[in-house]
Amino acid sequence: MAFALIHYISLISAVALFIATAAVGKKYASNRNPLTLVFVIFILLFAVSMLLNFSKGFFEPAGIEDALLSKAGLSLGLIVTALFSSFLLYPLSVQYRETTKQKIILVVMAAMWLLAGYAAFILGTLEIEFTGVVDGASNFRMPMAILGVIIFESFVNIGILLLVVLREKDPTFRTRTLILLVGYTIFITAEMIDSIAHLAVIVPLVSMVGLLTMTYGILRE
Amino acid sequence: MTEKRTVFAYCKKCQENIGIDVNEGEVQSQSSGLATVLSIHGEPEHGIVVYIDKEYRVRGIEYPSQLRVERKRTTIIESTVATSFEESDISFGTLIDTFGDKRKNAIRNFSILITHVLLSKPIYLVHDDFSIGKAVQGRIEKLFSDQMNLIDVISHNEIANMPSDSLVFSLQMKKIMNKCVDCKTKVVEDMIKDSLKEDSSYFRFTYQVSKILYSYKKLKEILSEIDESILDTELSRRIMIEVDQIPYLLTLAELQGFDTSPVDYNGLGRVARSF
């Protein structure tokens, strides 16, 4: 076992996200809105990916188990991002039903999943190449195709969330979405700086701040 | 800082929902689990005592038989008459089961009945034992706080003579013999299911029905006055109902001849309201 600070930070993030999952799940039980269900799955997968990060602590860094868990975590990251895109784009497609805009939105949604599938294929065939261990956590060379897909799709998601915030007139929903947007943006920033080796040490902290902000936005009444 | 919330309670005297501002801290700090709030409103002025649980749901309403308000001093309630508080609860599940052999079918059939009531369509309950039919009729009318006089009881021999623009339901066969409205009733089915989970299920459903009646009335008012488009999220705020329930009410309004085209679906707004 090689637990380090990063693993405990992942555990804290996972617990916070599981609490958020329970809260949104409770909301789904009362409103039975399919959109809420998609959000429950999104936040649950996020929590599971954090749990996978935590479980790396049970194994030696840069070992075979570490490589498998890293691959599983990245796969979940791809699914979570594409799922979040669908969650944000689907209501827009309903809004523009029977128009050309709807077709464009549906094509974008399909493209998001195709990109995620392409990145998952690369991930499946990839041999994880570890570059060292920083503060108890292994570092590996992130394939740009995978990182690029996650970041591109995340930016699309951030753009749509920003639109939601700008268009929303009800202050309660605007504030909650704004907090979710800020948290998500912080988290994506952490993913981006993860590829810069000398900033890797602050990544877990930035990730945790982002995820806890997201959780706060979700739990806020 | 303690925040305020508005809880809606149906006042029989006003025949509409009354918004009551409550202090979150005070509601949450009640050791009994129920906060008791007195609302004085209306013209002529009258009062209702509302019991609110920690989830901000109305658990009971009492109507004081006498209320004396001394201006700039105190409010004195001399006595209260309990109504709609628990006494009918046991029978809500039984009432629902009267409408189908299986609970699922019963809920579906009862939702169709409620939809017909909302559309002011006549309803004929068929039972050869008149007293049983009347008992069911009374129970349903109580749900609508006796505001509706749309239900009648007939025998099986009379079915053929009933107008086609009505709902005819055989309580003995537990089957719809005729219906004049065909639309999705999931919103009402969910309301019934949620109410059945509660201890005071009959009261809970009465409250839900009063809410939907009020919102539907407001929706029709807005649709008759509106001359420009409105987002469904804004509409849900104005008629005080969940945005997910809007499509059901819009379908009802369409069936009653209202133009619902000015109501636009707010995709981005739905995102913000889904988590």
Picking from B266, B267, B274, the nearest residue to A33 by CB comes out as B274
Is B10 within the bounds of a domain? yes
Please give the average per-residue pLDDT across B81-103, as a whole number: 69
Structure tokens at B172: 């003995």
Tell whether B76 is covered by a domain. Answer: yes
Nearest 5°: CA angle at A76, between A74 and A78? 70
CA B201 to chain centre: 12
pLDDT, position B86:
42
Whether B190 and chain A come into contact, CB under 8 Å, resolves to: yes
Chain B residue numbers with beta carbons less than 8 Å from the beta carbon of A91 are 265, 267-268, 270-271, 274
Q: What integer pLDDT is reported at residue B80 of this predicted model? A: 39
Per the CB < 8 A criterion, the answer to whether B148 and B113 are in contact is: no
Quick one: DSSP state of residue B265? Answer: P
- What tokens were used for B237? 């705020």
What average pLDDT does the structure give for chain B? Answer: 85
CA of A97: which chain B residue's CA is closest?
A: B265
Query: pLDDT tens across B184-202, in order?
Result: 999 999 999 989 988 788 8
Q: How far apart are CA B188 and CA B8, in angstroms?
A: 19
In this predicted structure, which of A99-113, B51-65, B183-197, B216-230 has the lowest mean pLDDT? B51-65
Q: Hey, how many other C-beta atoms are within 10 angstroms of the C-beta on A216?
A: 16
Q: What is the mean pLDDT of residues B104-119?
A: 95
In a domain, B17, yes or no: yes
Please choose, from the candidates A166, A181, A167, A189, the residue with its C-alpha nearest in 3D space to the C-alpha of residue A216: A181
- Domain coverage including residue B25: 4-83
Which chain A residues in 192-211 lie under 8 Å from chain B, judged by CB atoms?
Answer: none
The answer to whether B136 and B125 are in contact (CB under 8 A) is yes
Residue B36 lies in a domain: yes
Per-residue pLDDT tens over the stretch B15-43: 777 888 888 888 888 777 788 888 888 87
| pLDDT computed for residue B74 by the predictor | 40
Residue B88 lies in a domain: no
CB proximity under 8 Å: B 224-263 to A: 233-234, 237, 242, 244
B71 located within any domain:
yes
Low-confidence ranges of chain A (pLDDT < 70): 1, 195, 197-198, 200-201, 221
CA distance B133 to B38: 38
- B217 is a domain residue: no
**Residue B155 belongs to a domain:** no
Confidence at residue B102, expressed as pLDDT on a 0 to 100 scale: 94
Specify the number of domains making up chain B. Answer: 1
Report the residue from B266, B268, B274 with minimal CB separation from A39. B274
Give the CA dihedral A144, A150, A154, A156, nearest 10 degrees: 80
Q: Which pLDDT score, from 0 to 100, does residue B147 have?
A: 63
A:B CB pairs within 8 Å: 67
The beta-carbon neighbor of B272 closest among A27, A33, A177 is: A177
Give the gap in angstroms from C-alpha B267 to the nearest C-alpha of chain A. 4
> Does residue B85 sit in helix, strand or coil?
coil
Residues in chain A closer than 8 A to B242 (CB atoms)? 31
What domains does chain A contain, in order, with CATH numbers?
5-219 (1.20.1070)
Task: Give residue B26's pLDDT.
Answer: 80
What is the torsional sign of CA B197, B203, B207, B212? positive
pLDDT > 90? residue B223: yes
d(CA B226, CA B221): 9
Strand partners, B80: B64
Taking contacts as CB-CB distances below 8 angstroms, the residues of chain A near B274 are: 33, 35-36, 38-39, 87, 91
DSSP character at residue B24? H
Quote ipTM for the complex. Answer: 0.84
Which of A1-10, A155-164, B49-58, B173-182 shows the highest mean pLDDT?
A155-164
